[in-house]
Structure 1
Amino acid sequence: MKKPELLVTPVTVEDIIPLAEAGADAFVLGEQRFGLRLAGEFNRDDTKKAIELAHSKGKKVYIAMNAIFHNEKIEELKDYTRFASESGADAIIFGDPAVLMTAKEVAPEMKLHWNTETTATNWYTCNYWGRKGAKRAVLAREINLDAIVEMKEHAEVEIEVQVHGMTCMFQSKRSLLGNYFLYQDKAMEIENRKQQKNMFLHDKERENKYPIFEDENGTHIMSPNDICVIDELGEMLEAGVDSFKIDGILKSPEYILAVTKAYRKAMDLYFEDPERYEEEKENLLSELEAIQPPNRPFDTGFFFKETVY
């Protein structure tokens, strides 16, 4: 049984060293022109510096190129892929086959992680992309624990699972999605719309607030709760899941650092002494609940089919 990678999403270059020292094994970063829902924006200089810093600590950096690409951006893929390769990135995250084809052409040695966020729901599809050149499949957030374990048993590629943070419920290429709700006079209304930040869709019937933000890729509506399975890692560790991801989107660097430390402790405890992990996991969960914003309670996502959107 091997210890999985702990994958983290930094907000700035200054987060790399503290997160590495806190126990992160790898980082996802990039710029919104090519990557979806990034915790922070990293221009090319930032990316080069982040890779240099991560490698100095023996850590890896994966460049997000998992946006949905339209014709006007296709010509840019070669240059950015070449940049990622020449900068020493350890992998490119992709969803669009255009990125895979581009990488094969200009950076054939680059490791590729397939991540569509929604369609990795069976091991056969994971293996399909593996045979096309992907080395890892990032599983959909909507599948349960039994399915994750079964997919790992049959997968010919590495398997990555999100274990902490918010998830995307809806994406539209269009901006200002809230205008639809305002025009239709729906029950959900936009809060903080004038500030164009910290916006929420407020579902008064369920008393849920869904974070909404817009970037170059359009409008994204996020889950009202955060996934947290720090006390439910055992089965995935036993199954040999290759990577656990902490998604820090819309979170502060301090929060991401604290969560990274907690998951590193949980994973190390399990491998050193599984019984101690069982004894300590509730305390670890309590530590994270203490720093969790009160308006964003924890749940276990779809791991046990508790979440219903």
Structure 2
Amino acid sequence: MGIVKKQLKRPEVLAPAGTLEKLKIAIHYGADAVYIGGDAYGLRSRAGNFSFEEMSEGVAFAKKHGAKVYVAANMVTHEHDEEGAGEFFRRLRDIGINAVIISDPALIEICAMDAPGLPIHLSTQSSATNVETLEFWKNEGLERVVLAREVSMEEIKTMRAHTDVEIEAFIHGAMCISYSGRCTLSNHMSKRDANRGGCCQSCRWKYDLYEVPFAGKRHSLTDEFDKDEPFSMSAVDMSMIEYIPELIENGVDSFKIEGRMKSIHYVSTVANVYKAAVNSYMEDPENYICKQEWIDELWKVAQRELSTGFYFSTPSENEQLFGERRKIPSYSFIGEVLSYDEKTKIATVRQRNHFSVGDDIEFYGPGFQHFEQTVDVMWNDEGESIDRAPNPMMVLTMPVVQPVSVGDMIRKKK
């Protein structure tokens, strides 16, 4: 009898979408699903949260492109916070939202009772770290569990072997210094409740150690250390691009990308990379290799250094940000293509950051299409030749050396 090969399931690439524009771009660049926030019950009060009308437009766009839309409603409720939640969840169900992501048991119960038919996913805020927890929530009727970010790859393997509930795991983006994001630093330091959407990211601040003599002036003790910034609570970001096979083979159903407050440059790039990697692996698992160009591409939008989080070991001081940066992103996002004339080979572009004639720029689009060129000439919207594009969101035209498409992005080296 021959060896029966394990049937691999294609994982979902799940991208963040802080605005309707980001939702459309994420899907255009390969995301199978996006997660968004509504006007209530979420943890990103400063993100461009969606009105019901925007949700309807987003759901229609997603359905047209075979994608799904999830809504994060993962706040920790205090008394009266849950008021109106039943109506909120019913509206989401009727709009056609594919699932809602919740951490608070009260909101889970309200959703199940008041909006039957709306699938519920357990938020990472609930710190699911073992098989028994996953089975508990499965028995409560939840379809999917978003694992705690502290779970290891070996633990995921064990979970998949003993439960069939869907597993969603973070594979790229910011890491929280607190356990599964349950933090009260922001509450104490700025009176903004992190678990009700107001986090001020206290862990990203710079800290020092002072001696304060009685009735004297305080002075820093930093001089006693070798580093300019010896104290840190700021974690590096996560990137699992080099471990796509392990994630798929160990049964992760959804690859979650963090970053609802990140730019369209970030969303398009990261979704593009992980979709290319997943496609490559699923097409030929036995001959799969992680391409260096994928890693290089992610560094073009990385804002912090990168690590594998808790997947293979407990993070050490090397996974903290302090002192001089060990690697700095070298590209900036400068524009997007609005249209392209095949006869004249002229592209119409909307500027997003300053660039000039003589700059070396790079175009990229869905499906991991890239090419570079030098800006030789460009014209403003009145057809006048210009040597630079300094005005935000200005529309201009320029010749391109290869065909481009609507929605293609442009970046340049800093």
**Global fold match (TM > 0.5):** yes
Equivalent residue number for residue 272 of structure 2: 261
Q: Distance in 1 between matches of 2:107 and 2:285?
A: 41
**Matching of residue 232 in structure 1 with residue 243 in structure 2:** yes
Q: Deviations over 1:39-87 (max 9, x none)?
A: 5422222222211211121111111111101121222111111111111
Deviates more, 1:268-277 or 1:69-78: 268-277
Equivalent residue number for residue 49 of structure 1: 57
Equivalent residue number for residue 362 of structure 2: none
CA contact (8 A) 2:72 2:101 kept: yes
Equivalent residue number for residue 215 of structure 1: none
**Matching of residue 28 in structure 1 with residue 35 in structure 2:** yes
CA contact (8 A) 2:12 2:254 kept: yes
Query: Size of the alignment, in residue pairs?
Result: 279
Structure 1 residue aligned with 2:292, among 269, 282, 285? Answer: 282
CA contact (8 A) 1:8 1:260 kept: yes
Shift of 1:25: 0.7
Task: Give 1:18's aligned amino acid.
Answer: I
> Given the two structures, how large is their TM-score scaled by the length of structure 2?
0.62
Structure 2 residue aligned with 1:251, among 230, 254, 262? Answer: 262
Deviates more, 1:257-266 or 1:41-50: 41-50
Q: Distance in 2 between matches of 1:198 and 1:260?
A: 28
Q: Distance in 2 between matches of 1:128 and 1:92?
A: 18
CA contact (8 A) 1:144 1:305 kept: yes
RMSD (Å), alpha carbons? 2.5
Q: Deviations over 1:226-262 (max 9, x none)?
A: 1001011111211221100011144211111101000
Name the structure with the higher helix share. 1
Equivalent residue number for residue 204 of structure 2: 200
Equivalent residue number for residue 24 of structure 2: 17
Go from structure 1 to structure 2 and tell me whether the alpha carbon gap of 1:282 and 1:154 turns closer, same or farther (over 3 Å shift): farther
Q: Deviations over 1:183-224 (max 9, x none)?
A: xxxxxxxxxxxxx899931146765766xxxxxxxxxxxx53
- Helix, strand or coil at the partner of 2:296: helix
Shift of 1:268: 0.5
Go from structure 1 to structure 2 and tell me whether the alpha carbon gap of 1:77 and 1:224 turns closer, same or farther (over 3 Å shift): same
CA contact (8 A) 1:95 1:116 kept: yes
Go from structure 1 to structure 2 and tell me whether the alpha carbon gap of 1:301 and 1:37 turns closer, same or farther (over 3 Å shift): farther
> Given the two structures, how large is their TM-score scaled by the length of structure 1?
0.82
Go from structure 1 to structure 2 and tell me whether the alpha carbon gap of 1:242 and 1:292 turns closer, same or farther (over 3 Å shift): same
State, as a whole percentage, how many aligned pairs show the same letter. Answer: 33
Task: Give 2:32's aligned amino acid.
Answer: D
Q: Distance in 2 between matches of 1:304 and 1:244?
A: 17
Shift of 1:28: 0.8
Deviates more, 1:268-277 or 1:55-64: 268-277
- Helix, strand or coil at the partner of 1:245: strand
- Helix, strand or coil at the partner of 2:83: helix
Task: Give 1:292's aligned amino acid.
Answer: A
CA contact (8 A) 2:12 2:33 kept: yes
**Matching of residue 8 in structure 1 with residue 18 in structure 2:** no
Q: Distance in 2 between matches of 1:161 and 1:199?
A: 23
- Helix, strand or coil at the partner of 2:82: helix
